[in-house]
Structure 1
Amino acid sequence: MDVQLFTKLVKEIKVGKQLPDAVYLHKDAFSALPKTLKGFIPAVAKALNIEEDEWNLVKLFKKDFRLSLLHYPDFYQDSYPALKKSINVDLSKLSHRITEYAKSENPPILHRKETMVLTDNTYYEHFTQLTSEGENAGLYENTRLIGFKQSWLNLITRHGYELVDGRLFRSSAVMEATNENSIDRHKTAIVRHDLSAPMKTLAKSGFLEGDYSIFDYGCGRGDDLRELQAHGLDAIGWDPKFQPDNDKVTSDIVNIGFVLNVIEDQDERLEALLGAWELAEQFLIVSVMLANESYISQFTPYKDGVITSRNTFQKYYAQSEIKSYIERHLDEVVVTVAPGIFYIFKDKIAEQHYLQKRYKRHSSWKQLSSPEPTNTRVLQKDKAKLLITQNESLYNDFWQTCLALGRIPANEEFEQAEQIKSLTGAFKKTFALLAELYDTSEFEQAQNKRKEDLLAYFAMSLFEKRKPYTQQPENLKRDIKALFGEYKTALNLAKELLFAISDVELIEPQCIKAHQALPASVLNKGHSLLLHKKFLSELPLLLRIYVNAALQMYGEIDDDIDLVKIHITSGKVTLTGYDDFENKAVPFLRERIKIKMAEQDIDFFDYVNENRRPPLLNKGAYLDESFANYKKQISFDRRLAKLLGYENGNDVLLSRTEYDFKLHKENKHQSGYTLKSN
């Protein structure tokens, strides 16, 4: 083995943790190494009299004729294992250096272990979950801070988390069963992005703008409260350990976040849920930790949960399990907001406002017409029309209100109602006059959109089996009367649409229709329709309900999701998120979520290993001119498709390895929106 062959073989490695200057690989992944290198590494260890059990990882340098044999004895047992011994071998000088870390209080530690084993490794999924937790907690933003044990633990604490059996928990969710003193938390107010996940959903939905009082039931050390109070919000909390002297007070919104997980007594757990519900005046937000059976099985079972190494109890849930638990005990239909996060409304008017907003499309109407007179002689005979022409700004505002509502507004829905009435009389009369002056096709479009939004809302209420509301918001009553005549008619239409989403013979033509009408999409006939989430609101009504029915299990689509796939025949919807979709010419798949409506189940797939993420080719097929770099993307897609020999504009399935190989074969590499020679 010489330096040239060593360098060549290391460059050929497609597995392992790939760094700019080295590759890390566990022994158990050696089967994927080039044959010569596979035999060479153990031969080096044997020549140095290093026993087999004294190393289990290798670091292969890309630019130097060097390798390091590393011993992480707790690689499979510890989430972030510490380095015990390092043997650095300089193959060019035929020398080596041994560094011991066994007695070090601050040894180097490992992260992203899933990158160092193969995908068929028994622990691969578990390692992937660990990395995903760290990324979601914001711990990998500065990689210089994570390489050593103490700095890693300090970083975890500063971000408001604690390690329990190698898993990250927000400190406020950890109820310690021992008498050990707790580590003091970082005292400065945490930044906005460090709000807990349930609080982030409140912010996204507009509930943290100062209009609502908030009570945090089981607030822990008060991480969220400090941030909310710093923004001037009316937010207080109680916790049985950290803030037991605080009063439990009724509030508009009550949050019981990651509390039900840690209560081992089922009666006490239910008491906490019911206690929090009792305090909520508008709605309760419940959040819990989720985990699959393979992860839970590694712990000691206790009651309906497990015992952790710190002698604490944890009850992990599946999404459907916790949803059923809440609905059964509160006798309320819950709103699924995100995985493990749910809203339960006590104020049914507030619930209807929230759900209507969730299914309502937002449009900015452009003024396409004006009431300028074309026949002065006629208008002079009609004083009312002349008044409209003379007060153009006022009547434009009124017309825009009609477009926004999809109907004639009530008096209280237009601030300048008295002025309108003094000039041209009642709103109905005024609208009739405007209809002769304005292009009414705009209003017809607005009316149809509002009608479809309401049908989507009613269909989802039926799908979620919500009890009929005894009271409705006034604006909803007006909508129903104007657009449907009566409530029963609206419900019957919604019911028909809901039954139709299970009819494959109806779904496929709707997908074809959508593909023809949408600004951008990819249709795989007989299989699926793919589109960017931006265009979901432009789908035909039946497909909107189809997608919303799937999202009822998952929650709202967040910023991490980019594309949506509607499966035509299987009753599934797949959500996909890519790394920097907006800016990369070829983004790579980061996560995939498959929602199976027939089975009422969700499969989560994370592609944490960046070197194995499939590429999204023909990205331009999912964009229109409203996206930045649209023209560059279209041009790039055309050149790349021609170079690699696939059809431009279609859904192309290619692995990362195949993509890299094809580029390498053509002696090209990608740089931004260009293809350059190697």
Structure 2
Amino acid sequence: MTGEVVARHKTALSRGSLSRPMATASADGLLAADASVFDYGCGKGDDIRHLRTLGYSADGWDPAHRPDGVRTPASVVNLGYVLNVIESRSERADVLRAAWALAQDLLIVSARMTWDARDLSGRPLGDGLVTRTGTFQKFYEQNELAEWIQQTVGVRPHAAAPGIFYLFRDEAAAQSFLASRVYTYRPRITIDPQAQYDANEAAIAPLLEFMQRHARAPKQGELEPGAVTGIVEAVGSVGRAQRLIRQVTTDEYWERVSAHRRAELLIYIALSRFGRRPRFSQLDKSLTTDIRSLFGTYQDACRQADRLLLACGDQAMLYVNARSSKIGKQTPSALYVHRSAIAEIPPVLQVYEGCARALAGTIPSANLVKLSVTEPQVSYLTYPTFERDPHPTLRSAITVNLRKLTVDWRDYSQSDNPPLLHRKEEFVGAEHPRRQLYERLTRSEIRANLYAHPERIGTQKGWQSTLEAAGVHLQGHRLKRA
């Protein structure tokens, strides 16, 4: 112990919605409808109240605000921003172990990041600082927090987002989560008219969705019982429904589906090398069936995935793949891609981006990804008005350096001259619903000679000056004469 008394109770916040860790777990599909949730260090109990409103069985304990709460096991335990307010290193470790002991399925651990300390003043204490209000704060680097968690409880944490990690009891559940993080792409399907299929399309839809997701027909028990019942009542059997689907679609379409599913599995298996790659027996049934169906053996899939991972570490290979990508905006130093199109870039680049996410977790607000081809670095860029603004401005950037294993954040929200985008169609996929709208705008801006001096138009002020000098203004995604 440090001997100095700090006001831990003052760190509890009042929230009008779920905390960031709980909202992240919910968005990741980790809060099953029947899950029990325990909030360890619940503060004023806002998460408990919100979870109960949503129908969850939720309870919690806090030494200051809920000391009478009973610390009971639950399927999901949240240790939300508790570790960073404990000034004693040994007590921090004890609290983490205690929370993990209560977690039957999942422990969510979160702490504040080093960038949170940039505008915070206080006096040093131990490995943190005491703020002006008398509270203690320990700020973590992303990799520092992950390593400390693993050393303390002996379980590999999985990054959910910057400062948020998941610890799973069951390895199959962990691998299902990691497999779900791979970006997916489903080629656009064309259904040829066929009377029996058309009449039963709604009943057959769950089977079609399964086949598109897994690139194979389902095994017994993989479809929901209600879906099977609906299919049998409509056309007689699941096999009959499968034959109907193949009659109204082309072999070429299913070859493309298989190719994309193979790529998804290779990307997942390649990224599973972070930590210890799971044994085949540790994967869930659907995942093992997909691998056998598309690769024959797990060993063969692992060999192919390792070659992909090796290529990802070769800067020359990254450069070649970036230059050959049909999706994304290319610059001399990077490839920029909209998040919705990540699954359409070459698999090597998807593994590259996946390596960054394995360290940093998902950045929900980021809608553009910058893949550097000159150094091992991936940046996640947030343009909040990308869809509605013809030239959106940058609000923030999170950069993951894969050599230094660092995660850094930059804020542009207060800048009076932030960077902005042009040629939005270059960032999105070929089937993006607004791509043609973006293309029309770019063509009109080229005709107006607005791109003659690219060095002037990369920021908001420079772009506005260029528009004024040309005597034009923007109305939505249309260029108008002033």
TM-score under structure 2 normalisation? Answer: 0.85
Aligned residue in 2 for 1:551: 357
Q: Which has the higher contact order (CA 8 A, sep 6+)?
A: 2
Contact 1:403 1:442 in 2 (8 A): no
- What is the CA distance between 1:552 and its match in structure 2? 1.5
| 3-state DSSP of counterpart to 2:273 | helix
Distance 1:557 1:656 in 2: 24
Distance 1:184 1:448 in 2: 50
Alignment of 1:619 onto 2:424? yes
Distance 1:501 1:484 in 2: 21
AA of the residue aligned to 1:490: A
How do 1:420-499 residues align onto structure 2 when only pairs under 5 Å count?
Answer: 439-466=250-277, 468=279, 471-499=282-310
Aligned residue in 1 for 2:132: 309
Contact 2:338 2:428 in 1 (8 A): yes
Alignment of 1:568 onto 2:377? no
Alignment of 1:506 onto 2:317? yes
Contact 2:85 2:138 in 1 (8 A): yes
Contact 1:407 1:482 in 2 (8 A): yes
- What is the CA distance between 1:243 and its match in structure 2? 0.9
Distance 1:368 1:484 in 2: 28
Contact 1:618 1:651 in 2 (8 A): no
Alignment of 1:201 onto 2:24? yes
Give the unaligned 5+ runs of structure 2.
Answer: none
**Structure 2 CA distance for partners of 1:297 and 1:546, relative to 1, 3 Å:** same
Provide Cα deviations, 1:37-69, integer angstroms capped at 9, x if missing partner: xxxxxxxxxxxxxxxxxxxxxxxxxxxxxxxxx
Match of 2:211 among 402, 410, 426: 402
Contact 2:107 2:167 in 1 (8 A): yes
**Structure 2 CA distance for partners of 1:397 and 1:441, relative to 1, 3 Å:** farther
Contact 1:305 1:316 in 2 (8 A): yes
Give the unaligned 5+ runs of structure 1.
Answer: 1-175, 374-387
Contact 1:301 1:307 in 2 (8 A): yes
The size of the alignment, in residue pairs, is 475
How do 1:162-561 residues align onto structure 2 when only pairs under 5 Å count?
Answer: 177=6, 191=16, 194-208=17-31, 210-292=33-115, 295=118, 298-359=121-182, 361=184, 363=186, 366=189, 368-369=191-192, 401-414=210-223, 415=225, 416=228, 439-466=250-277, 468=279, 471-515=282-326, 518=327, 521-524=328-331, 526-558=332-364, 560-561=365-366
| 3-state DSSP of counterpart to 1:210 | coil
AA of the residue aligned to 2:403: A
Aligned residue in 1 for 2:463: 659
Distance 1:556 1:615 in 2: 23
Contact 2:11 2:135 in 1 (8 A): no
**Structure 2 CA distance for partners of 1:238 and 1:183, relative to 1, 3 Å:** closer
**Structure 2 CA distance for partners of 1:336 and 1:207, relative to 1, 3 Å:** same
Match of 1:595 among 394, 397, 400: 400
**Structure 2 CA distance for partners of 1:182 and 1:418, relative to 1, 3 Å:** closer
Distance 2:353 2:107 in 1: 26
- What is the CA distance between 1:264 and its match in structure 2? 1.2
| 3-state DSSP of counterpart to 1:550 | helix
Aligned residue in 2 for 1:134: none
Distance 1:390 1:590 in 2: 49
- What is the CA distance between 1:638 and its match in structure 2? 3.1
Distance 1:651 1:453 in 2: 38
Provide Cα deviations, 1:3-24, integer angstroms capped at 9, x if missing partner: xxxxxxxxxxxxxxxxxxxxxx
TM-score under structure 1 normalisation? Answer: 0.62
Contact 1:618 1:652 in 2 (8 A): no
**Structure 2 CA distance for partners of 1:651 and 1:573, relative to 1, 3 Å:** farther
Distance 1:290 1:621 in 2: 33
- What is the CA distance between 1:317 and its match in structure 2? 1.1
AA of the residue aligned to 1:539: I
Aligned residue in 2 for 1:609: 414
- What is the CA distance between 1:460 and its match in structure 2? 0.9
Contact 1:333 1:465 in 2 (8 A): no
| 3-state DSSP of counterpart to 2:369 | strand
